[in-house]
Amino acid sequence: MGRTRKRATKGATMAAVARRAGVSAMTVSNVINNKVSVQPGTREAVLKAIAELDYRPNAAARALASASTLRIGLLHRDQDSALLSAMLVGSLKAASRIGVQLIIQPYNPDTALEDILEFAESGLDGLLLPPPLCEQFSDSGLSARINIPVVAMAPGTSLPDIACVRIDDEAAAFALTSSLIVHGHRRIAFVLLPGTHVGKARLEGYRRALREAGIPEDPDLIWQARPTFSEGLVLAERKLGTAEKPVAQGPFTAIMAGNDDMAAAFVNVALRLGKRIPEDLSITGFDDTPIAIKIWPTLTTVRQPLAEIAEQATELLIAMLRNPSAQGPSAQGAVPRFVDYKLVERASVADVAPE
């Protein structure tokens, strides 16, 4: 082609789209960014041209021209490495594909709410909130004080004031409980995570499973503890130890722990007390964290596709950013996006022992 000053361009440019649609580049830009209203017909034509040319905006050009890159923040606790890595993987995937900048920052559980507010005001365009931060934030009613879009990742229930992407915790708990029932269990203890949306949703799932199987619910089998290994240890010692006498309607044959760490604590104590797991007692976890396969017996648990949740949450947030009209107060809060959970059956559950 001889020498030319023009450098090769990968995909279609905005100019190409404009030419095809028979409009100016500005109009294409307007359609893409929802800045000013565009006549429906014009908009259609532009959208059609974009689709035909498989046009994708150049993030660098956009950043340069607007003198700013879209920056979305993700707050995290240093401790939750499994949660964090999965979410970072997913979020980074979406962010780097779309060309927005992902800023991550640790927060302090004791000042979580203030940390959110401060982080949001640090020049961010949007915010991604992992659990349990998103639930706390929603419960606090502070979301009204934030003027950038927020998306909650994996909250236990849909949140009234924040858009979210999550699994159906109620259904997951229903499935887990049902799998225990299929194994013949009828005396199933449930560890409730007090004061959390997750706890509430899962309790409902547990109850529905019992109800549908015609198993009466026993309040003595609803236990409470905070979701840590050590709290699990304390609870396990209290419930499995000899100190407490068997409940009236007979002993439980299975325990649904609040998460994998707690399940590990139950396994630990049960083993120490000479019980055989799962022959004498079935135990389930929740989350499918690394510890689930680092102990014996390996844990039957439920896995949330955290990377996918984060990826979708990031996409949703960016869409909200690009489309200000959809951002009205609680406009997105009502439409949670669901992804599928997975029941992972391993070695910690067995058929209930015959009497």
By the criterion CB under 8 A, which residues form the site for a copy of itself?
Answer: 7-10, 58-61, 63-64, 67, 69, 76, 79, 81-82, 84-86, 88-89, 92-93, 96, 101-104, 229, 233, 261, 264, 271-272, 289-291, 294-296
For residue 172, give the nearest of 34, 297, 291, 301 by alpha carbon. 301
1, 7, 214, 248: residue in contact with DNA (rule CB under 7 A): 7
Q: Are strands 188-192 and 342-344 parallel, antiparallel or unpaired?
A: unpaired
Which residue's CB is nearer to DNA, number 48 or number 56?
56
C-beta of residue 143 within 8 angstroms of C-beta of residue 137: yes
| DSSP class per residue in 18-60 | HHHHTS-HHHHHHHHHT-S---HHHHHHHHHHHHHHT----HH
CB 91 within 8 A of CB 314: yes
27 binds, among a copy of itself, DNA, none (CB under 5 to 8 A by kind): DNA
CB 60, min distance to DNA, A: 7
Q: Which of 96, 151, 156 is nearest to 313 (CA)?
A: 151
Under rule CB under 7 A, residue 1 binds DNA: no
Nearer to DNA, 60 or 331 (CB): 60
Which residue type is seen at 213? A
- State in angstroms the smallest separation of the CB of 80 from DNA: 35
Instruction: Please select the residue that binds DNA; options are 27, 91, 158, 284, rule is CB under 7 A.
Output: 27
Task: Return the DSSP state at 132.
Answer: T
Nearer to a copy of itself, 9 or 24 (CB): 9
Residue 103 near which of a copy of itself, DNA, none (CB within 5-8 Å, type-dependent): a copy of itself
Name the E strands within 170-296.
188-192, 222-224, 254-256, 282-284
Residues 57-96 that bind DNA (CB under 7 A): 57-58, 61-62, 64-67
Site string for DNA, 31-50 (x = CB under 7 A): -xx-xxxxx-xxx-------
How many of the chain's residues bind DNA (CB under 7 A)? 36
Cα distance between residue 265 and residue 240, in whole Å: 11
